[in-house]
Chain A
């Protein structure tokens, strides 16, 4: 504490959250980061020695899969985020500007309801829709529009479709809060000054909602690059993301040290992307202190 100020009593209410964060994030991450620099488990194995070989293994990538897994993770994360934003923004704008309270409640229910069913259930639902003998392909073949089923899943496309569906609510809820706080009269002022509806939106509401776009995008990006269940089920053997690779290293290859290195790499790369994204948006909005 600087300047001799005492923490407010309210600060103690943060303690449980702080404790959880330390116990279940800082400590495990510290252990994982430490493990990633050892050849084995230094507690149980007296022969374990410090090494950077896990990182070298990733960087030189002689097997030729690690870099691809990283790119595919980031690609899926970025595409999911952009699509979720494109779908979520108009919906959030509509909700935020809705006059009727009942209408607002109904749309909110519709947005939140899918979240009640759980990720696995929703992913299986997408499988029944998108697989070769699924709803879409069966119908298209019946109508004679196509002869062979379209490759709608067991690839990145199917993975992104399911991820977008699962994470759009996070985007919508974040954006609705921010857009709802923008005074409608600002857009009206812009229109009275000669801007058409769309121009008024682009000049006023869009830049003012950048903090919401930023928060929603980061949330969806973070969730989709760390997703495991959906890419595994929807991607099949054709998609390999870092979380899947990490699970393999822990569960099948019994190499928690390399898994730790992959975890650190995923975190660092996503941090770099997050900071860059933040900077770009801050510059676009011209607002100081957003980054």
Chain B
């Protein structure tokens, strides 16, 4: 399967001439990359995706795919697969007919359609359900049909709008693995919209964190998590402590803090709350100067025994406290 690079160039989109949904966004997505647009609702991630898909036309800026300017190309000529949050399966058609739709639009010969539909369904482990209607399938199965329908036409780009949002946690995790494996196997460029930071971290090659229509930071999951550039990124992804030192804000992850006896520690305080999370415990420590700090205590062997009221000392390495812009 071929894949294509995507480039958004200073793309801006305003709704009702007031709300700026996407504000001068520039993104370079490499061919074959698993790329996530991550942010809270209303940050412009879905609008950006719909601009790539062609459902929205940007007020200004250009969209290039595979080196070609497609800004003015209608949706049906863009040759991209799209998976919707609601799956958007055709309720009046069977699974096989749903999957065959894109091939039929491309006037692929009938015998070849049958063969490719079979191949696509076996790829998502749905063989045998060809004649079911979407309403007779579980959420996970509908999700797979939507994937098969988008991928059967072998698009160079696959766009996913919160495709796992409607699944329960267990199934979502399983689909995360499957989707990632499928993407790597096919080599398709995948643009994935999500508000779930764990999902983005788990699946992506690179992530663009968006806020208020702008891109705050682009980087690998490790970069985004370990070296957040702005306060927003640090705060949006995982738990964080923001330290103000000499006019510079620094971000410190709770798991970078080590617990020790109060004497000789950087910060001494008392445990206020201890939230047991299974593999670790998240402590809220009130420091002597009144600051509140989050500390993750990882359990090696037995469950650790810090309890509210315990006096503790906190320490960390300087390079783990990342300086933030603004």
Contact = CB atoms under 8 A, between A and B. Distances in A.
B75 A192 contact: yes
B80 A192 contact: yes
Contact of A196 (B74, B79, B149): B74
A200 B55 CA distance: 14
B106 A194 contact: yes
Nearest to B92: A207
Interface string A172-196: 0000000000010110111111111
Contacts of B81: 192
Interface in A238-291: 285-287
A191 B75 contact: yes
Contact of B84 (A189, A195, A207): A189
Contacts of B76: 191-197, 199-200
A129 interface: no
B105 interface: yes
Contact of B101 (A188, A193, A197): A193
Most buried by A among B75, B79, B153: B75
Using C-beta atoms within 8 Å of the partner chain, give the interface range for chain A. Answer: 20 to 34
Contacts of A188: 55, 75, 82, 84, 88
Nearest to B75: A191
A108 interface: no
A266 B238 CA distance: 73
Contact of B92 (A192, A197, A286): A286
Contacts of A193: 76, 101-102, 105, 149-150, 153
Interface string B83-115: 010101111100000000110011000000000
A194 B153 contact: yes
Main secondary structure, interface of A, reads helix
B213 to A, nearest CB: 20
Contacts of A189: 82, 84, 88-90, 149
Contacts of B159: 192
B105 A183 contact: no
B21 interface: no
Using C-beta atoms within 8 Å of the partner chain, give the interface range for chain B. Answer: 20 to 34
A287 B88 contact: no
Most buried by A among B53, B76, B80, B91: B76
A204 interface: yes
Contacts of B75: 188, 191-192
Contacts of A287: 92
Given A185-B84, A185-B86, A285 B92 contact: yes
Most buried by B among A192, A195, A207: A192
Contacts of B80: 192
B95 to A, nearest CB: 14
Interface in B271-324: none
Most buried by B among A183, A189, A195: A189
A208 B92 contact: yes
A193 B89 CA distance: 12
A183 B88 contact: yes
A189 B92 CA distance: 14
Contacts of A286: 92
B19 to A, nearest CB: 13
Interface string A92-109: 000000000000000000
A183 B92 CA distance: 13
B85 to A, nearest CB: 9
Most buried by B among A186, A196, A287: A186
B90 A186 contact: yes
A185 B153 contact: no
Interface string A111-129: 0000000000000000000
A37 B316 CA distance: 102
A191 B81 CA distance: 10
A188 B149 CA distance: 14
A197 B54 CA distance: 12
Contacts of B149: 189, 193
A191 B88 CA distance: 12
Contacts of A204: 90
Interface in B39-98: 53-55, 74-76, 78-82, 84, 86, 88-92
Contact of B105 (A186, A194, A197, A208): A194
A191 B86 CA distance: 16
B105 A195 contact: yes
Contact of A192 (B53, B89, B91): B53
Nearest to A192: B82
Given A193-B76, A195-B76, A196-B74, 14 more contacts: A185-B84, A185-B88, A190-B101, A191-B76, A192-B80, A192-B159, A194-B76, A194-B105, A194-B106, A195-B101, A200-B76, A203-B101, A207-B92, A208-B91
Interface of A: 183, 185-186, 188-197, 199-200, 203-204, 207-208, 285-287
16 contacts: A186-B88, A188-B55, A189-B90, A192-B76, A192-B78, A192-B82, A192-B159, A193-B102, A193-B150, A194-B76, A194-B106, A194-B153, A203-B90, A207-B92, A208-B91, A285-B92
Q: 9 closest A-B pairs (Cβ-Cβ)?
A: A194-B105, A193-B102, A189-B88, A192-B82, A185-B88, A191-B75, A191-B76, A195-B105, A194-B76
